[in-house]
Amino acid sequence: MDATETPATEATPSRAARLLGRPFDINGLSLRNRIAMAPMTRNFSPDGVPGADVAEYYARRAAGGVGLIITEGTYVDHASAGSSHRVPRFHGDAPLAGWRQVAGAVHAAGGKIVPQLWHVGATRNEGDGPFPDAPPAGPSGLNLDGEPKGHALTSADIDEVVAAFARAAADAERNGFDGVELHGAHGYLIDQFFWNRTNRRTDGYGGGLASRTRFAAEIVEAVRAAVSPDFPVIFRLSQWKSNAYDEKLAADPTELDALLAPLAAAGVDAFHASTRRYWLPEYDGDDLNLAGWIKKLTGKATLSVGSVGLDKQFTAAETFSTETTSTAGIDLLLDRMERDEFDVIAVGRALIADPEWADKALTDRLSEATPYDAGMLRRLS
């Protein structure tokens, strides 16, 4: 090289690449970056079996730069767990064979994947599939409004549900997945045990908040025992319910700690805190969002979520509307990532709209991202 020449230097990574592009580890699961795909029910698995189109759908997001795919909710092996013939199941030969193909496709595209294990509880209506003869079931035979619905789970029923989650987790490991997520949010069965409106039990599963965590803790313990020690267990929780956006299970950090401590002790490796807007503080007097508080209280890895990259928040009526959004910047997200408030950010609707959203975020090309509109929910692409 001539003495007058300047040595070549690498370009300085952008702020997004520097913060979102950092690898992260959850109990031995190495993620290539801090971007996850949030679980979103898509209803494209006839008879509960995910097909090649589902595998391609998730693989496209992995190829587009997502570090961790969290699948849509999948029903565990309990007759009252589900409410649709088109939502995938995580039990039975055909569904599990389909899921093996999904996991393989995601791995081939460079991503990691965990299934979300789900029981809808008393949100299910009488006669709903996939097992229409099964009654709705919840902790106290109450719907989310606190009105009678279905039947209260007996102790034997509870044991069956706990065992179903454990079997599903073992099947996930056996079929090539990288971990599991337990759906304990949004007013579904596990969350119904947390919530005093739906849990009026007088046995060891009801009463104070710590006692109302017993069901979830037993599921975590059973799952932990059914899988390898280094197989990650993620737990999703929320304050809000599908019929009560402003509800708070824990009114302050002390109550939140009472909710979290038994779950952390039972073996949760990471918490996925579902909020509708990730940038809002969870409690007065501190800027931390829910994921930030969970990380502060437990020391566990945390995932945050909520209207990332979009200019409109999630609304219940959205699925049936013609709502469109514009792509929004992620400076507020990067501010929180820079101070390590939480560890991973999950992205929902923006990834339905654009499978390459992650790559575009990491390379400062979000101005090129496809905007979301609700019509996209009618197809799997």
Catalytic residues, which ones?
188
Angstrom CA distances, 32 to 20, 24, 69, 72, 258, stand at: 10, 7, 12, 21, 33
Q: Judging by DSSP bridges, how do beta strands 151-152 and 137-138 pair with one another?
A: parallel
In degrees rounded to 5, what are phi and psi of residue 279?
-85, -5
Q: What's the CA gap between 289 and 261, in Å, rounded?
A: 18
Give the residue from 312, 307, 309 showing the smallest Cα distance to 325: 312
Give the residue from 291, 299, 268 showing the smallest Cα distance to 346: 291
Q: What's the CA gap between 224 and 215, in Å, rounded?
A: 14
CB 271 within 8 A of CB 261: no
| The Cα angle at residue 259 between residues 35 and 332, in degrees rounded to 5 | 30
In degrees rounded to 5, what are phi and psi of residue 73?
-60, 140
Q: What's the CA gap between 79 and 121, in Å, rounded?
A: 10
Q: What's the CA gap between 347 and 67, in Å, rounded?
A: 11
Task: Report the length, in residues, of the chain.
Answer: 381
The residues that bridge with 68 in the sheet, in sequence order, are 36, 112
Q: What's the CA gap between 238 and 208, in Å, rounded?
A: 18
Q: What's the CA gap between 343 and 292, in Å, rounded?
A: 9
Q: What's the CA gap between 348 and 134, in Å, rounded?
A: 31
Q: Is 69 helix (H, G, I), strand (E, B) or coil?
A: strand
Q: For residue 112, what is the DSSP state?
A: E
The count of other CB atoms within 10 Å of the CB of residue 105 is 21
